[in-house]
Structure 1
Amino acid sequence: MSVPAFFSAHPLSLPSVDRSSVVGTLRAAGCVFAEDEAELLLSAARTPAELATMVERRAGGLPLEHVLGWAEFRGLRIAVDPGVFVPRRRTEFLVGQAVALAGREPVVVDLCCGSGALGAALAASLGPVELHAADIDPAAVRCARRNVADAGGEVHEGDLYDPLPGALRGRVGILLANVPYVPTGEVGLLPAEARVHEARVALDGGADGLDVLRRVTREAPEWLAPGGHLLFETSEQQVPAAVDAVERAGLVARVVEDEELYATVVIGTWSV
């Protein structure tokens, strides 16, 4: 590969990199936050050649988090491997709601865990937890195991509740379910960063976007402890149908929103 224009005549020294040229390359590729991204790439690269590769991959449309190998989420650096769903900043609101609801040393399950960001962030905020996570995507499972290791969490590979230990039934205080909720017909309208570079299973929620959610809510009462909570994101338009699914399962539903983050979270409480 030829040396890109953003290097000076001294290619072996990172200080010789022309930062403005890196910014210009990213901006020309359509990166809205080109200056911030340039700083991250410059700080992450160990050699000019590595930086050149990273800039090329980012300018080619790879998500910044996949280029860096991590995403910031509630102050943590969450490892994000190629193809794994990138945790969204708006989902920090969901974790904050879970923190407020959790008791001491709760049993936590993170379904459709992706990178494991939600469970890891919750554990980091609460301290000791019994943490289990599950995902159907083997790449996500491998990634999540790295992210929940510090919390002593276990990550299980399989479809929703299927791989969870039976001993968790009736004991879960916080059930996080970051389910896919994009309607099948709208997946093609997503930004290329998601549509091309993230697993479809992490995005496609079926005809109306709520197929996976309905499966989660139906079985939730079997796993929740009395007073336990199910939390998930949805779109504003999907709220009525999502609340209906929660209530049909016998849970008490409420909706909380954060306008600044464009986040809508439904909370279902198992009140018996």
Structure 2
Amino acid sequence: MPAPESSTASPAFARIVSELRRAGCVFAEEEAGLLIAEASNPIDLAHDVRRRVAGIPLEYILGWAWFAGRRVMVEPGVFVPRRRTELLVNEAAVILEAAGASQPRVVLDLCCGSGAVAAALAMRIPGLELHAADIDPVAVRCARGNVEPMGGHVHEGDLFGALPLLLRGRVQVLAVNAPYVPTKAIRTMPPEARLHESRLSLDGGADGLDVHRRLAAAAPEWLGPAGHLLIETSEQQALATASIVSAAGFTVRIVRSEELDGTVVVGALPDFAAALPR
């Protein structure tokens, strides 16, 4: 996100950049421009700079994150959407567009966090029946602010237990950015994530794949004809995630984007494998 041009000429800009650099902010110029542009007065600006220097994630200070070409509201404690997750959006959009309007366009963003994936898909493809769900009440509240204005529905609960039964057997695209960090690896994460984001959004169990196993096992009964399961994972875990999805009866492929540094496992049930784009 480039800094607004007007902010770079303000007297406060150089001083704020210097403070942010000393605090270890890699993109100090961009962050300074955003902080200046978003602050309503000098007192608020000084407060925001102090919070950023103290390590509060920039997105929590601004109240939004930039994702898939638009602002997504983000509350403190809610998982901040990463650029790599745009690959999940892109792959889901390819499947939805290939299916055309003849298929029921029911989309489910599970482990939705802020609802960024659901909102991005709604912006790209009109006419979706859009659902999102998360176990974290704070994330659910945040997602409602992003998804409900797009005509979607947000549910609170543990994975498929959050969903209304009317969705069973109807979901065309199940897009998931579940927690996949191994428990012991959380301590190695950047402080902005480790100290400020909900543990529920990070911890994937001993090998990081506990939630992937639960998702793959239960997904078939929620998918409709030509339904697809898409799971974001890491490049290192991709083969293991793909094996889990395959063992649950899916035909699987792995999609990798070096530009976005993103990895997604895409699965279809055998009867619908021909619907997978090549």
Task: Quickly name the TM-score band, shorter chain normalised.
Answer: over 0.9
1:64 paired to 2:58:
yes
Q: Tell me the equivalent position of 2:85.
A: 91
Q: Which moved more, 1:229-238 or 1:201-210?
A: 229-238
Q: Tell me the equivalent position of 1:175.
A: 174
Q: Which amino acid aligns with 1:44?
A: E
Q: Which amino acid aligns with 1:195?
A: R
Q: CA deviation at 1:270?
A: 2.2
The 2-side partners of 1:143 and 1:57 are apart by 21
Contact 1:226 1:271 in 2 (8 A): no
Q: Tell me the equivalent position of 1:81.
A: 75
1:37 paired to 2:31:
yes
The 1-side partners of 2:81 and 2:270 are apart by 30
Q: Tell me the equivalent position of 1:256.
A: 255
The 2-side partners of 1:54 and 1:127 are apart by 37
The alignment partner of 2:236 has SS state of: helix
Q: Tell me the equivalent position of 1:159.
A: 158
Unaligned runs of 5+ in 1: 1-14
Q: Tell me the equivalent position of 1:186.
A: 185
Q: CA deviation at 1:176?
A: 0.8
Q: Tell me the equivalent position of 2:6.
A: none
Q: CA deviation at 1:150?
A: 2.3
TM-score, with structure 1 as normaliser = 0.93
Q: CA deviation at 1:210?
A: 0.1
Over residues 94-117 of structure 1, what are the superposed CA-to-partner deviations in whole Å (9 max), with x where a residue is unaligned? 101110101336100010000000
Over residues 35-88 of structure 1, what are the superposed CA-to-partner deviations in whole Å (9 max), with x where a residue is unaligned? 000111110001001101111111110111011000011111100000000000
Over residues 232-261 of structure 1, what are the superposed CA-to-partner deviations in whole Å (9 max), with x where a residue is unaligned? 111122122111110111111100100122
The 2-side partners of 1:69 and 1:271 are apart by 43
The alignment partner of 1:244 has SS state of: helix
1:247 paired to 2:241:
no
Contact 1:136 1:160 in 2 (8 A): yes
The 2-side partners of 1:39 and 1:187 are apart by 31
Q: Which amino acid aligns with 2:113?
A: G
The alignment partner of 1:25 has SS state of: helix
Equivalenced residue count is: 258
Q: Tell me the equivalent position of 1:115.
A: 114
The 2-side partners of 1:270 and 1:49 are apart by 57
Contact 2:148 2:154 in 1 (8 A): no
Q: Which amino acid aligns with 1:178?
A: N
Q: Tell me the equivalent position of 1:125.
A: 124
CA spacing shift, 1:48–1:251, aligned 2, 3 Å: same
Over residues 155-210 of structure 1, what are the superposed CA-to-partner deviations in whole Å (9 max), with x where a residue is unaligned? 11100000101111111011011000000010010000000000001000000000
Q: CA deviation at 1:16?
A: 6.3
The alignment partner of 1:246 has SS state of: helix
Q: Which amino acid aligns with 2:184?
A: G
Q: Which amino acid aligns with 1:33?
A: F
Q: CA deviation at 1:17?
A: 4.2
The 1-side partners of 2:119 and 2:147 are apart by 5
Q: Which amino acid aligns with 2:19?
A: T
The 2-side partners of 1:106 and 1:188 are apart by 40
Contact 2:77 2:197 in 1 (8 A): yes
The 2-side partners of 1:216 and 1:74 are apart by 25
Contact 1:70 1:79 in 2 (8 A): yes
Contact 1:129 1:151 in 2 (8 A): no
**1:4-43 residue pairs with structure 2 within 5 A?**
17-43=11-37
The 1-side partners of 2:26 and 2:154 are apart by 35
The alignment partner of 1:77 has SS state of: strand
Q: CA deviation at 1:121?
A: 0.2
What is the RMSD of the two structures over their aligned residues, measured on CA atoms? 1.1
The 1-side partners of 2:246 and 2:256 are apart by 19
Contact 1:180 1:201 in 2 (8 A): yes
